[in-house]
Structure 1
Amino acid sequence: MAGFFELLRVQRWDDHRYYHHSEVNQALHLLSAISFLCAYALIFGNPALAGLIGWLISMTSRQIGHFFFEPRTYDTVNQATHAYKEQIKVGYNLHRKVVLMAIWALSPLVLLLDPTCLGLFRAATSGFGFFRHLGYIWLAIGLGGLLFRTVQLFLVQDLQTGLVWATKIMTDPFNDIRLYYRAPLRLLKRRLHESDLLEAPAPEAAEPHH
């Protein structure tokens, strides 16, 4: 077990130091983490709503942070290129995330083309029913993505790496709150500081001495 928890610590540290430089990304991860915990609380009582929250809020805010706010330039802090970080990423790197997000974005077409989803549901008779079925599909995509990458890691690396990664993903909301709960306040302070600098009057030129 000591080796398991050490590998979990390493995976968490690598994920933080390589992919969470931006304070905007960190703040979005905090939002994602809180909404994921809400989804966790709902998953047994209302799994469809859990799936909707998990994707519409948790996953979108998390991936917006990665795709639009994380720098792609050379990482001088870690002495690593973006290509290197993508290569060694244990879980879903940005390329794999594009595939996963594309599957999610296209999934409503399944219900539009076949409201029964190959006989899994009764055809929805209202918008509420449609989104309820969609929530189930999104929950299945999320769990399927977790299971797929875990099994893939079993095959391409080893059993422990896959189990550690799955544990990391499921506990990420708790870890993200611990790491990034100050990010919104840091962002606000920086924005206020920048506003003060922009609004401050320019210093008057000194009167020449005669």
Structure 2
Amino acid sequence: MPFVWGMPNHLHEERDVKDFLQALRVQRWDDHRYYHHSRINQSLHLLSAISFLVAYALLFKDPAMAALIAWLVSMVSRQAGHFFFEPKGYDHINQVTHEYKEAIKVGYNLQRKVVLMAIWACSPLLLVWQPGLFGLLEPHADWRGFIHNVGWMWLWVGVGGLLFRMVQLFVQQGVQTGLVWVTKILTDPFHDIMLYHKAPWYLLRGQMMDPGHRAP
């Protein structure tokens, strides 16, 4: 049996998988405990997760429509929860400042999200200037064609934003961190439903903030 650094290949691969899954658990836990205290934010994440799953289902049938749902419903609700309802002061539960959380954020912190959302919001203007987007799209003939092309553009913005941050993480923190983050992002809708499916019920009972986060 071949060995790698004194370890059988299958044991080496098993250790790599365990390291990857542990890193994924850490990223998910840090994201939850640092950025999801508000029950409104959690409820909006539930809405976002459900609509993302709808977008996933449409992706291979109508990619443009999938992107429209993902951005207009999933991303808007998700980021509204972070920008408008999540506390920005000192985090007494985790005993850290908001500035610290933003500095160590693996993915898109609020500053990066502003840039990404600005690119998303302004990107349709390119279709006004270049209806065919330099030959990449069939120029629209009516408003329905324009919306369809906007959907395609937003799909590329989403994929581009995902790949851009992944490559950044490759350089800054290592390949595994980047791959773990992409895995987390793509599987967040499933995980968010599991975490936040009771959030609307708590909100209806008047509980505005999650009373505490318990480590898994």
Aligned to 1:35: 51
Matched residues in 2 for 1:139 and 1:22: separation?
Answer: 29
Q: Percent identity among equivalent residues?
A: 64
The structural deviation recorded for 1:119 is 1.2
Which of residues 139, 144, 156 in structure 2 aligns to 1:140?
Answer: 156
| Cα distance between partner residues in 2 of 1:126 and 1:189 | 47
**So what's the TM-score if we normalise by structure 1?**
0.90
Q: Secondary structure at the match of 2:51?
A: helix
The residue that corresponds to 1:69 in the other structure is 85
Matched, 1:83 2:82: no
Residue 180 of structure 1 corresponds to 196
Structure 1's consecutive aligned runs of 4 or more residues displaced over 2 angstroms after TM superposition are: none
In structure 2, the partner of 1:60 is 76
2:143 maps to which residue?
Answer: 127
Instruction: Give the number of the structure whose alpha-carbon radius of gyration is greater.
Output: 1
The residue correspondences of 1:1-210 to structure 2 (distance < 5 A) are 1-190=17-206
Alignment gaps of 5+ in structure 1 = 192-210
Give how far 1:165 is off: 0.3
Whole-Å separation in 2 of the counterparts to 1:86 and 1:171 = 22
Task: Give structure 2 stretches of 5+ with no counterpart.
Answer: 1-16, 208-216
Q: Provide the C-alpha distance between the structure 1 equivalents of 2:204 and 2:127, rounded to a whole number of angstroms.
A: 42
Q: Distance in 2 between matches of 1:123 and 1:179?
A: 43
Map Cα deviations across residues 44-103 of structure 1 (whole Å, 9 max, x no partner). 110000010000000000000000000011000000001000000000000000000000
SS in 2 for 1:190: coil
The alpha-carbon deviation at position 122 of structure 1 amounts to 2.0
- Report the Cα distance in structure 2 between the residues aligned to 1:95 and 1:57, rounded to whole angstroms: 21
Local SS of the residue matching 2:205: helix
